[in-house]
A and B are shown apart, each in its own frame.
Chain A
Amino acid sequence: MELELGLAPPNSTGRSDRKRGFGEAFEEAAAAAPTTLPLFDDGSSSSSNSSGSIIKNKKPALVGWPPVSSARSRASSSGRHVKVRKEGAAIGRKVDLSLHGSYGGLRATLARMFPADQAGCVGTSDEEVVADGDGRGAAGLVVTYEDADGDWMLVGDVPWEDFARSVKRLRILL
């Protein structure tokens, strides 16, 4: 019936292998590494594979996808949860930067999240702790962070606002 209408282009006959051909063209690409598809030309291909490596660039701007309202997309970009891993710990945590306004507050939260085993290293300080040369604060933690360029930096060198904007994730060194 569909053929009588003459709608279909010549190579679409309704056989499933044809359909699969369309899908396969994308399945291979998807199986290798979930990347953006050729139709959406962004000039770069960024991938986020299942081992959890962080994409450096944002996903390319596919307008209106996923279909979330502008109110939601504004809200999601302002939520500032970043991952925190401590060297040697298998399980990471997440910290909400929007609840903190200073390095001191952040260190206090981190010290609470990752209580040190060694005596004398546990403690939260209510005072602002200015980072000294090696980045240790009151809790003796050396905290580093990955910035927007993908470089690992010592926490504390730049003003808090700049840090909060550029930080992608944190890592506590022993």
Chain B
Amino acid sequence: MGRAAGPAAPPWHSLPDEVWEHAFSFLPADADRGAAACACHGWLRAERRSRRRLVVPNCYATDPRDAVDRFPSVRAAEVKGKPHFADFGLLPPSWGAYAAPWVAAAADGWPLLEELSFKRMFVTDECLEMIASSFRNFQVLRLNSCEGFTTAGLAAITEGCRNLKELDLQENYIDDCSSHWLSNFPECYTSLEALNFSCLHGEVNFTVLERLVSRCRNLKTLKLNNAIPLDNVASLLRKAPQIIELGTGKFSADYHPDLFAKVEAAFAGCTSLRRLSGTWDAVPDYLPAFYCVCEGLTSLNLSYATVQGPELIKFISRCKNLLQLWVMDLIEDHGLSVVASSCSKLQELRVFPSDPFGHNGGQVFLTERGLVDVSASCPKLESVLYFCSRMTNEALVMIAKNRPNFTCFRLALLEPRSPDYITRQPLDAGFSAIVESCKGLRRLSMSGLLTDLVFKSIGAHADRLEMLSLAFAGDSDLGLNDILSGCKSLKKLEIRDCPFGDKALLANAAKLETMRSLWMNSCSLTVGGCRLLALKMPHLTVEIINDPGETCPVESLPFDSPVEKLYVYRTLAGPRSDTPDCVQIV
């Protein structure tokens, strides 16, 4: 770093790397660290050697070994695989996103790794066994929406990771091999701080669980599965009154005054309880047992709970300090108006459909009114996910006016292409108002009847928008062109059933390289268009995805053959080699 000739280098040029590494440790945001790394070789070196946390939002954006080489000091890594629409069954099961190469590379290059998180990836028992045996100080394993492993793999983790603090299994599909994974925690093991096994279907040995909970005095998070009877939940709480986050599991039983008293007493001891969730199969009789903790709750997830009616509303109205509320539409407009008047600190609201596919044929009285009320009365509300059956432009305009501080707005009208139910107009005006008013909007999902007009507004105004989800919207390529040529911050775009074709994509090909990924299904794309896009942009992977079983090679198809599903993402690693037959990279 010495300078032999030229103007004198600034004094800070000769500071040793360790000083820069220390300075960079104050930059929490990866984007800031990345920017610093671009300044000069010295900073690049210092930054990459001191990076402790790595997030890889698309596992195919880079080869895992390159990631490990570049950042050799990582202690915590998070890798995400399948695109978001995989959650709704739109991706064939064999698509990819295998965790094995990442685990192998980490085992090789990050022996001091402490935390590993996988989301929407295929994780095998062998991966879990490798994790258990490769990292002597492994502490945190988080698996979210993953599949491919069984309780045998979990048994390897609980047996092998002596310093495990957190095992978080969220919405995974896990095969139950009746492995005694819970029993594999050694008797001397006491370091557990967080345990979430809510997605496991099988029975667990309650005695073992109770002993585990008793001896782990630092346990803060416990999320049970549906196999634990209410009586046992109460017993566990008596053993862990220090708990901060609780998932109650099924929490249903016929009413019995003795059991009620036991549950009530158990909760009375949990003075630190802040976050509550559970599937709660309709036990309004037991809700009053929670009253003592309501005041302290900051997060309440009733989104799997079929409990409804006045008991539910009474319960929620006591939760005056809620920041986050997830609930089913069974709360109805009336319930939301109570939320509006009771939960003044609310920041995030999610309302899920209790009957999304119309099986029960019933009518739930949740309309635009509920959302209008909450957005009018909760000044801190910034994140909304709302499933309902009807909406008006007027309501959206009112919501936009009341809450310009939205950062995330997701509205899912159950019937595709639903217009404003009073005026029968498209909802362009309403959504335009949202993007024009909410200047900090980072995430938007739209539904209902929408024309190309709304995309003009979005392209022009949604400067901070990072993720956009569209369904059954728009009239023509103009709509897609407005999005891709505007929306300066766009990272992820996912589209289904919109009349968008190749032209807008090809005209904005360069934009796609500034984005993380693009998903389109059931639009008007052609094989020829996709091929042209791939030719134009060598740093993009262009995947054409068919239904499994339909493996007609793309080369043999005519130019204008329709493409049902397209997934495009930028990558440093070139085309992946683990595609199934139904996926073709053009």
B449 near A23 (CB under 8 angstroms)? yes
User: For B122, what are the chain A residues with a Cβ–Cβ distance below 8 Å?
Assistant: none
Could you tell me if A22 and B451 are in contact, using CB atoms closer than 8 angstroms? yes
Q: Is the CB of B306 within 8 A of A19?
A: no
Given that A7-B478, A23-B451, A99-B252 are known contacts, is A71 also in contact with B171, CB under 8 Å in the complex?
yes
B419 and A30 within 8 A (CB)? yes
**Residues of chain A with a CB closer than 8 A to B461's CB:** none
Shortest A6–chain B CB gap in Å is 8
Q: Which of B85, B418, B481 is the one whose CB lies under 8 Å from A7?
A: B481
> Hey, which chain B residues are within 8 Å of A65, CB to CB?
88, 416, 471, 496
| Cβ of A129 under 8 Å from chain B | no
Say whether chain B's binding surface is mostly helix, strand, loop, or mixed.
Answer: loop
Flag if A63 contacts B90 (CB, 8 Å).
yes
> A17-39 toward B: CB 8 Å interface, digit per residue (1/0)?
01110110011001100100101
Partner-contacting stretch, out of B19-27, B46-54, B351-359 = B351-359
Cα distance, A74 to B475, chains bound together (Å): 34
State A168–B358 Cα separation when bound (angstroms). Answer: 12
Q: Which residues of A contact B412 (CB under 8 A)?
A: 66-67
Q: State whether B415 touches A19 (Cβ < 8 A).
A: no
Contact with A along B264-303 (1 / 0, CB 8 A): 0000000000000001011000000000000000000001
B residues less than 8 Å from A158 (CB atoms): none
A76 touches B356 (CB 8 A): yes
**Of A54-62, A116-124, A130-138, the one with at least 4 CB within 8 A of chain B:** A54-62
Interface size on B, residues (CB 8 A): 57
The A-B contact count (CB < 8 A) is 144
Give every chain A residue within 8 A of B360 (Cβ-Cβ): 79, 81-82
* A52–B419 alpha-carbon span in the complex (Å): 20
* Chain B residue with the shortest CB-CB distance to A2: B478
Interface size of A as a range: 35 or more
Bound CA span A48–B364, Å? 13
A76-B89 contact in complex given A8-B477, A16-B453, A19-B451, C-beta closer than 8 Å: no
B199 near A79: Cβ-Cβ < 8 Å = no
Partner of A76, one of B353, B426, B476: B353
B507 touches A55 (CB 8 A): no
A44 at the binding interface (Cβ < 8 Å): no
Query: B36 contacts the other chain (Cβ, under 8 Å)?
Result: no
**Are B306 and A79 closer than 8 Å at their CB atoms?**
yes
Indicate whether B497 reaches chain A with its CB closer than 8 angstroms. Answer: yes
Contact A58 B359 (CB under 8 A): yes
Report, nearest first, the 10 A-B pairs whose CB atoms are least far apart. A64-B88, A19-B451, A54-B361, A12-B476, A7-B477, A69-B87, A66-B356, A59-B358, A7-B503, A64-B90
